Amino acid sequence: MDPNKQNLLARLKAPGFESRGIVYYLGSDELGRDVLSRLIYGARISLLVAISSVVLSGILGSILGMVAAFYRGWTETIIMRLVDMVLSVPAILLAIITVAILGPSLANVVIVLALTRWPRYARVAYGQTLSIANMPYVRLSRFMGAGWLRLLWRHILPNIAGALIVVATLEFGLMVLFEAGLSFLGLGVQPPTASWGAMLSTGRNYVASAWWIATFPGLALFLLVLSINLIGDHIRDRLDPRGR
């Protein structure tokens, strides 16, 4: 069913209600839209935002962290002070302020989340690169004339990829929560596009009379983040040498 299709004759109907041959398995909202359809479509939005922001922040942070550790000097100072500055401000507060300035949209949410979370990757990449850059095989490659780009791509990145993947899995669930929080405040995906955060925001007005509008998106959000964190813990145990 179209998640945006309205049926005003089926407003605020409980789960299992049937109208015109259509069964509302999880009930309907204040405009008669199917909660299950909007829940499924909202999952696509949450996953799209989370995956996109994790990829962008991971690429940006990893590159800057490796460059800072490899070049040292003023390059290291500028990048790492920028990392400290961004991390000194709560990420969700920084995201709210930035989205409020840029305007609410799916693209802006992805960009803002990427710009607020890249320092996590930069710190990990910086620390890992510092330890690997002084390895004999890296110094030998540099002595033989290998360029910095080749060194980073062939020797350093493959050796720090495991640590970066661990960070990415832990950040993924956080991105889902951030997207839901921004949408809840009206700064994320705009109506009528379905979003779990927006569904929670709408459902809070009908908690007493139509509990299912907010309950099912909240439950879906809880289960998704819990699943992501469990998967992330498993990946961390497999890839992080310190956890062995």
Contact present, 195 and 42 (Cβ < 8 Å): yes
Counting as low any pLDDT under 70, the low residues of the chain are 137, 139-140, 142-148, 240-244
Angstrom distance (rounded) from CA 64 to CA 117: 13
**Which residues are CB-contacts of 104 (< 8 A; sequence separation ≥ 6)?**
182, 186, 187, 188, 189, 190
Place of tokens 């379905």: 194
**Which residues are CB-contacts of 33 (< 8 A; sequence separation ≥ 6)?**
3, 4, 5, 6, 7
Per-residue tokens: 192? 């009528």
Burial of residue 69 (number of CB atoms within 10 Å: 0-12, 13-18, 19+):
buried
Distances (CA, A) of 181 to 67, 170, 200: 33, 18, 10
Per-residue tokens: 238? 């497999």
Side-chain half-sphere exposure of 38, counting CA atoms within 13 A: 32
Hey, is 226 helix, strand or coil? Answer: helix
Query: Residue 191's pLDDT is what?
Result: 82
Query: Residue 80's pLDDT is what?
Result: 92
Query: Residue 147's pLDDT is what?
Result: 66
Query: Residue 78's pLDDT is what?
Result: 93
Query: Residue 177's pLDDT is what?
Result: 92
Angstrom distance (rounded) from CA 156 to CA 116: 25
Angstrom distance (rounded) from CA 193 to CA 3: 8
Query: Residue 242's pLDDT is what?
Result: 54
Query: Residue 129's pLDDT is what?
Result: 87
Domain residues of the chain, as ranges? Answer: 21-239
Nearest to 32 by CA among 11, 56, 4: 11
93-127 b/e (C-beta count within 10 Å ≥ 16 → b): ebbbebbeeeebebebbbbbbbbbbbbbbbbbbbe
Contact present, 30 and 52 (Cβ < 8 Å): no
21-239, superfamily in CATH? MetI-like (1.10.3720.10)
Side-chain half-sphere exposure of 120, counting CA atoms within 13 A: 25
Per-residue tokens: 166? 């661990």
